[in-house]
Structure 1
Amino acid sequence: MQTHSLVPHSEFAPLAVLGITARITPDGDWLRLRWRIEGAQKLVVPPFAGKGRADGLWQTTCFELFLQVPESGGYTELNLSPSERWNAYDFTAYREGMSERPFPHEPSCAMRKGEALAIFDAAVPRSALPQAPWRYGLSAVIEEEGGRKSYWALAHPDGKPDFHDAGCFVAELAAPQGT
């Protein structure tokens, strides 16, 4: 299990959110992910839409995982929404060659929100992901009341928020033992 503190992009300050931590845990055939949002009283949670793929999830509160196999220019993007909608894409290079990534089973997503704290959990089938080891980035688009958005990541390169930038893929996860 690896837990990380995400940082907001300096040009898009949150309204009430005080901090976000993200955790990645390999668990047998699944990869478990958790984002913990402190100061969630003004958090906008997309309404339930049921399982299924959807585009544009990043336009409101959404949680993302980017995976890159070391020495590879390509990467995988996984978008997970509290609405239970999701999507996964492969890119051959930075924002190039985008294609929908096949998934044998849909990820599961659940959000619990209180006044001061929200927790978003997801379980992703490992068979749907590139073979580890990975460089990865965990990120979140957070929408708060009034349409205020903040962009959170492990690291931000200079310029506008861009989770696709390899400068955001700063964590590493080794291949499982015995594989």
Structure 2
Amino acid sequence: MPTITVGLRPFPGTPAASSNADDDTPLPVRALLCTMHATSDGGARFVFELDADPARVRIPAPAESAPADELWQHTCFEVFVASPGEEAYREFNLSPSRQWANYAFTAYRERDNAFSAPAAPRIQYTARADGLTLEAELPASSLPGITTGTDLQIGLAAVIELDTGELEYWALKHPAPAPDFHDRGGFVLTLNMAAPEAA
């Protein structure tokens, strides 16, 4: 399957976006990349690579891999998935703690409270001297139902908690005047989904 690697951008006004070229103070977060591709079983894999000073970024403590709410209040990586032409979409919150959330929305910020995540994502977190890597595999059953070969619209984002407690908001595109990962103007990638391989 084709592999796509993209760079996320900080929301304007955050320290990473408003650095002064005359200031020699290193930024806490230097870059954030994400690589994505469809998997042979109809799912999708996302690998976030954060280039940062580990001493200046707060990472949630390890926890049991289980669903949890409000992960976005701390360092958390997010994936938004929608079918073209549909108002509905899914949101995945993926924490370095290995906790996760999977929400369904029928339209912009209209959450489907009857939705229950059908499967857990598989999350691997690796701390590095120059940052961290988080890899998440989303099972096919957790993605919007589509016809084989259909492109999915993807939005990628992250909340990074600095050692000061300040939150930085990173995304592929910031279409709104305030950080808003749900804005469909930020779902700027397409991912072609593979037909599951026969057993």
Taking structure 1 as the reference length, what is the TM-score of the superposition? Answer: 0.92
* Partner residue, 1:150: 168
Distance 1:153 1:88, change over 3 A: same
Match of 2:49 among 5, 21, 36: 36
Task: Give the letter for the 1:169 counterpart.
Answer: F
CA distance in 1, matches of 2:12, 2:98: 29
1:101 Cα deviation after fit: 4.2
Task: Give the letter for the 2:73 counterpart.
Answer: Q
Task: Give the letter for the 2:10 counterpart.
Answer: P
Task: Give the letter for the 1:55 counterpart.
Answer: D
Unaligned runs of 5+ in 2: 17-26
Q: Deviations over 1:134-153 (max 9, x none)?
A: 11101110111111211111
Q: Is 2:152 the partner of 1:134? A: yes
CA contact 1:88–1:100 (8 Å) conserved in 2? no
CA distance in 1, matches of 2:47, 2:32: 10
Distance 1:178 1:107, change over 3 A: closer
Match of 1:172 among 185, 190, 193: 190
* Partner residue, 1:4: 6
CA distance in 2, matches of 1:104, 1:32: 17
* Partner residue, 2:24: none
Q: How many residues align?
A: 179
Q: Secondary structure at 2:107's aligned position in 1?
A: coil
1:119 Cα deviation after fit: 0.7
Q: Is 2:66 the partner of 1:91? A: no
Larger radius of gyration: 2
Match of 1:24 among 29, 36, 61: 36
Q: Deviations over 1:64-87 (max 9, x none)?
A: 100111111111101111111111
CA distance in 1, matches of 2:86, 2:53: 37
CA distance in 2, matches of 1:83, 1:9: 24
Task: Give the letter for the 1:11 counterpart.
Answer: G
Taking structure 2 as the reference length, what is the TM-score of the superposition? Answer: 0.83
The answer to which structure has the higher strand fraction is 1
Aligned sequence identity (%): 36
Unaligned runs of 5+ in 1: none
1:164 Cα deviation after fit: 0.3
Q: Secondary structure at 2:111's aligned position in 1?
A: coil
Q: Is 2:175 the partner of 1:163? A: no
CA distance in 1, matches of 2:80, 2:67: 17
Q: Is 2:65 the partner of 1:51? A: yes
CA contact 2:89–2:105 (8 Å) conserved in 1? yes
